[in-house]
Amino acid sequence: MKIAIIGAGYVGLVTGVCLADFGHDVVCIDKDQCRIDALNRGEIPIYEPGLADLVKANAGAGRLSFSVELRDAVAGAEVVFIAVGTPSRRGDGHADLTYVFAVAREVADAVDGFTVVVTKSTVPVGTGDEVARIIANTNPEADVAVVSNPEFLREGAAIEDFKRPDRIVVGIEEERARSVMNEVYRPLYLNQAPIMFTGRRTAELIKYAANAFLAMKITFINEVADLCEATGADVQQVARGIGLDNRIGSKFLHAGPGYGGSCFPKDTLALVKIGQDFESPMRLVETTVAINDQRKRAMARKVIASCGGDVRGKTIGVLGLTFKPNTDDMREAPSIDIIQGLMDKGAHVVAYDPQGMDSARELLPKEVDYADSAYEAAIDADALVLITEWNEFRSLDLGRLKLSMKSAVLVDLRNVYRYDEVARHGFAYASIGRHGDSRGTSEAQAAE
């Protein structure tokens, strides 16, 4: 099939390259000339494991190309995916649909023959109706079916998630779109990925409901972690104890510094706004947003408490800046609020991240210094804070770290280390929802 993808960001690029890998003929369009030039040189603008090899293989096989020229790509396509950003609109949290609607207008002028226009961007309920209206108004001759096909991939595992999805959701209003979408995803039938057809508005809501539910699950375990700290219980064992119940499930029960990223924060806000607009409030989601916002600053206070209540003039080494491992994405990363909170109290921050330092430099205060490794970030530090659980931070040489630090304090906001091993090296240690004397921690971790 001939497919055009508009927007070559995380979702557009991964969708384009995976569909090309399925054998389709794909053109990825982006208005950012630098991005397209880089892709045409074989350079990948984002860090996503496995993406570079897949782009190279499919571009080399002639199934994948990149361009800024939307018109020809759309005219030649049977299916056009819209995968542009839908950030939070300033002020009210509503999804900003400017980019989606701009693409709809451009696509309307360019389509040639029956074309299925698929919204892959995460958009509020009713956006598909508006896209269909825009296309009809812009070009009354356009023969299109507008479909919603939300994306559920995670950054850092994007290719695996796209190729082995738990489900594919397709919202259609016209029967003739069904066979086209079945054809797009036919290669995935081999993996037995369930494809679920719904109405367009339902598909749009499924995406927000999924993200909000996952954000709520994380927020729930984060609050349980606080209660564990207050009561002497152990959050990892609580998570395991509830997660083994199949009705609850063990995923997304890792307590941490609060969720971040390009999607949970903006999508929870957007769902709150959708609820308000339809006078059907999403109170659990409203509370989730508020708790998560407060949590990031609370993490800075936790670090300060571990440093004896005062960080003025002290040096804090920070390990991990991106919102999760295996990405260079810094959008809404908890590290931003935590570092700001520490600097507001007079700390000097030296940070290290395996992939995120270029993006971090644009977002963090200019006074932050950067190290080339975890060990360099620890030199003369009064405390070390682990914010993102990159694999390379999982088995650091604690003895070596201690020797280079001014004082041996480790604040582990991802519960990567065990109390006994950190204590053995003479560190003062703080983590999330755990206690030094809680029995069974090691067994629970070993079983994970």
In the complex with ligand UGA, which residue's Cβ is closer, 256 or 356? Answer: 256
Token pair, residue 71, equals 């018109």
Residue 128 interaction partner, one of ligand UGA, ligand NAD, none, beta carbon < 5-8 Å per kind = none
Interacting positions 155-174 with ligand NAD (CB under 6 A)? 155
Residue 30 interaction partner, one of ligand NAD, ligand UGA, none, beta carbon < 5-8 Å per kind = ligand NAD
Assess 99 for contact with ligand NAD (CB under 6 A). Answer: yes
User: Which contacts qualify for 204-207: CB closer than 8 Å, 24 or more apart?
Assistant: 204/119, 204/123, 204/124, 204/125, 204/126, 204/127, 204/128, 204/148, 204/150, 204/171, 205/125, 206/150, 206/169, 207/122, 207/150, 207/151, 207/152, 207/169, 207/267
Token pair, residue 443, equals 């067994």
Q: Is 263 noted as a catalytic residue in this protein?
A: yes
Number of residues that bind ligand NAD (CB under 6 A): 26
Assess 269 for contact with ligand NAD (CB under 6 A). Answer: no
In the complex with ligand NAD, which residue's Cβ is closer, 7 or 325? Answer: 7
Give the shortest CB-204-to-ligand NAD separation in angstroms: 11
How is the beta sheet containing 168-171 ordered, strand by strand?
Answer: 64-67, 25-29, 2-6, 79-82, 115-119, 144-148, 168-171, 195-198
- Which amino acid belongs to residue 359? S
Site string for ligand UGA, 245-284 (x = CB under 6 A): -------xxx-x--xxxxxx--------------------
Q: Which residue has the tokens 């375990």?
A: 221
Distance CA 195, CA 200 (A): 14
In the complex with ligand UGA, which residue's Cβ is closer, 307 or 333? Answer: 333
Site string for ligand NAD, 7-46 (x = CB under 6 A): xxxxxx----------------xxxx--x-----------
Assess 154 for contact with ligand UGA (CB under 6 A). Answer: yes
Question: Among 262, 176, 247, which Cα is nearest to 215's?
Answer: 262
Residue 260 interaction partner, one of ligand UGA, ligand NAD, none, beta carbon < 5-8 Å per kind = ligand UGA
Q: What is the dihedral of CA 259, 260, 262, 263, to 10 degrees?
A: 20
Give the shortest CB-447-to-ligand NAD separation in angstroms: 30
Q: What is the dihedral of CA 416, 419, 424, 430, to 10 degrees?
A: 80
Q: Is 126 left (phi over 0), alpha (psi -120 to 50) or beta?
A: left
Return the SS3 of 348. strand
Residue nearest to ligand UGA (CB): 263
Task: Let me know: does 259 contact 220? Beta carbons within 8 Å.
Answer: no
Residue 8 interaction partner, one of ligand UGA, ligand NAD, none, beta carbon < 5-8 Å per kind = ligand NAD
- Active-site entry in 18, 28, 228, 263: 263
Residue 103 interaction partner, one of ligand NAD, ligand UGA, none, beta carbon < 5-8 Å per kind = ligand NAD
Site string for ligand NAD, 117-146 (x = CB under 6 A): ----xx------------------------
Task: Let me know: does 231 contact 303? Beta carbons within 8 Å.
Answer: no
Distance CA 97, CA 209 (A): 19
Residue 214 interaction partner, one of ligand UGA, ligand NAD, none, beta carbon < 5-8 Å per kind = ligand UGA
List 196's β-bridge partners, or say none.
Answer: 169
In the complex, the residues that contact ligand UGA under the rule CB under 6 A are 122, 151-155, 211, 214, 218, 252-254, 256, 259-264, 323-324
Task: Please give the positions annotated as active site.
Answer: 263
